[in-house]
Amino acid sequence: MKCPFCEAADTKVIDSRPTEDGHAIRRRRECGECGKRFTTYEKVEEMLFMVVKRDGSRQTFDRNKILNGIIKACEKRPVSLADMEAVVTDIERSLNNRMDKEVSSEDIGEAVMEHLKDLDEVAYVRFASVYRQFKDVGTFVSEIEKLLGGSNGKEQ
C-alpha cells in the first residue's frame, strides 16, 4: 500500500479491526519513510451491475450517486451521515443479493423512498418530489396524503 503523503511503498499495518457494520476491515498503517499514519479499508469486492435508466441507457452502479441524493433530501434534517450510509449499504446489499446484472433506476429509487419513509418523512417527500418529478402542488399534497395513510385528518 502506497503512503498517501510521500507515496513510499514501505508501509506496515499497526492495527486491524472490523468496522461497526462488520462488512469491512479498518487498518491503521504507518509509513516506513515519513512515519505518518493513515487508515485504509478492506472489503469484499461485490458484483458490478448496470443501472438501466428511464431512457434505456445503461451505466455502472455508483453508490455515491444514491448517497448524494439522500444527503440532499436529508439536508438540514436530524439524520446522521451514518444513518444515510447505512441506507445506501442496505440498498446495495439487497441489489447484490438479487444476482441480476442489470437493475432499473426505478427499482433503486423506490428502494430509497422506502428507506427514507422510515428514516425521515420530510426527506422522503423531498426525494419523492425529485424522483417522481412532481409538476405541481397537487402532486405534493397527494404524496403527503399517501404518507399519512390516505386521510387528511378530516371526517367526511
- Write the pLDDT tens digit of every residue in 73-116: 999 999 999 999 999 999 998 988 887 889 999 999 999 999 99
Cell numbers representing residue 141 in the block: 399534497
pLDDT at 15: 95
- Residues 10-50: tens digit of each pLDDT: 999 999 999 887 888 999 999 999 999 999 999 876 667 89
- The residues that bridge with 39 in the sheet, in sequence order, are 28
Name the strand (E) or helix (H) holding 51.
Answer: strand 50-52
